[in-house]
Amino acid sequence: MEKSKNLQAFLDMIAVSELGYEVIGGSDNGYNVLVGSTPDNILLFGSYDDHPRIHNVSLNSDAAGRYQIMSKTFDGYNDRAWKDGTFSPEMQDMYAITLIKECRALDAINQGAIEYAVPMVASRWASLPGNSYGQHKQIIHDLLSWYMEAGGKLWSV
């Protein structure tokens, strides 16, 4: 799937929001990261053949990859639409884009209306402001900064 510059920047912003620059830099661009990783202790999985399904007991999560995808969610999409079965970087991107489309935020992202798009997808990523996961949420100023650092353009009137 061809990604616009704004969509790629938005995906990069989500990855930084979920993982942080240090974790991304210590991994395969975030695609092989397990939940619970910190800059001092980056937890990685070794194969993209399938979701790693490694449960972090203290966080009660098996989220993995650049966008911290849960295995049950991945399985639901894989069974219904993808049929690929792998947890490759391409499939992780496809998953994230699918969630963005389901939230009807793709047009806003492509237009650069990021302050509008973030709340639209906040229910899908725990680190975004506006979700109800009860985890630490990033602030919109930081998200916009990360988005622009990744080459995204903001909509202007």
Q: Residues with catalytic annotation?
A: 18
CA angle 31, 32, 37 (to 5 degrees): 105
Is the CB of residue 97 less than 8 Å from the CB of residue 1?
A: yes
Helices 140-149 & 5-19, crossing angle to 10 degrees? 130
Take residue 96 and report the two structure tokens written for it. Answer: 């994230």
Distance CA 100, CA 121 (A): 6
Owner of token pair 């899908």? 124
